[in-house]
Amino acid sequence: MASFGNAFSSSIGKKLTMGITGLFLVLFLLVHCFLNALIFINDGGLTFNIGANFMANNWLIRAGEIVLFVGLIAHIYQGARLTFENQAARPVKYAVYNGSANSKWYSRSMGLLGTLLLIFLIVHLANFWVVSRFTGIPSHDANGYENLYAVMKETFSNVWIVILYVLAMVSLCYHLLHGFASAFQTMGWNHKKYNGIIRGAGIWYSIIISVVFALMPIAIYAGFIK
């Protein structure tokens, strides 16, 4: 047990934890984005509510939520540790430092981007997950399903919530731009023949996921989706 704890807390263990949990979260975002994108069918949320009901009542999905939260907490914890340890390892800043010569600004700002996403996540969970899992959704749609779409419309009628979501998706995009390829590298799944493909896939994934998520609150607030 002690050896497992030591492996988890080692430098390699921390990065490996970040890689594994990061890839799991990448997969979760893909599924979550597909489900939420059902609002673009623009049928009053009927199709979206069917998908949301399936996700809420499928035992496999519910079990996956536990794994997701454990992975998310581990990702946040290890990310914070790596950030603080990197800062502590260089207590005196160089007189002249040109970080852009070796890395992108978002690669050097993962701690800040992660903090912004954590704030967003707390707001998001309070607005949707707590309501759907604990307090209950007060209305039902024409098919008799809990109307989570109505909760979404009410939430995104607040312009400040919309702004928060859009800014969070900008942060998510930059976070993914670094994290996607970095996770593959950490897991050792990199090769000079495929690195370009992985990097390109990461760029497209980061942009598409973030843009689709950002368009949802914008479209609802602007009235494009009824």
Per-10-residue mean pLDDT of the chain, 226 residues long, equals: 52 69 83 92 94 83 75 72 64 48 54 77 86 81 92 94 92 84 72 81 92 96 90
Task: Measure CA 202 to chain center.
Answer: 14
**Prediction pTM value:** 0.76
Which residue in the block uniquely carries the two structure tokens 């731009």?
A: 177
pLDDT of residue 131: 83
Residue 161 CB partners (closer than 8 Å, separation 6+): 123, 127, 155, 217
> Max Cα separation, the chain?
65
Alpha carbon distance 222, 18 (integer Å): 37
The reported pLDDT for the residue numbered 169 is 93
* End-to-end Cα, the chain, rounded Å: 55
Name the 3-class secondary structure at 59.
Answer: helix
Measured CA to CA in angstroms, residue 159 lies from 101, 123, 225 at distances of 39, 14, 16
DSSP output for 208-224 = HHHHHHHHHHHHHHHTS
Question: Which pLDDT belongs to residue 83?
Answer: 66
DSSP conformation letters of 182-216: HHHHHTT---TTTHHHHHHHHHHHHHHHHHHHHHH
**pLDDT given for residue 68 in this prediction:** 73
Question: Which pLDDT belongs to residue 196?
Answer: 84
Find out whether 221 and 156 touch, Cβ atoms under 8 Å.
Answer: yes
Domain boundaries, the chain: 2-222
- CATH class belonging to 2-222: mainly alpha
Measured distance CA(200)–CA(202) in Å, rounded: 5
220 closest CA partner among 29, 37, 15: 37
Q: Cα separations (Å) of 25 from 28, 72, 87?
A: 5, 8, 26
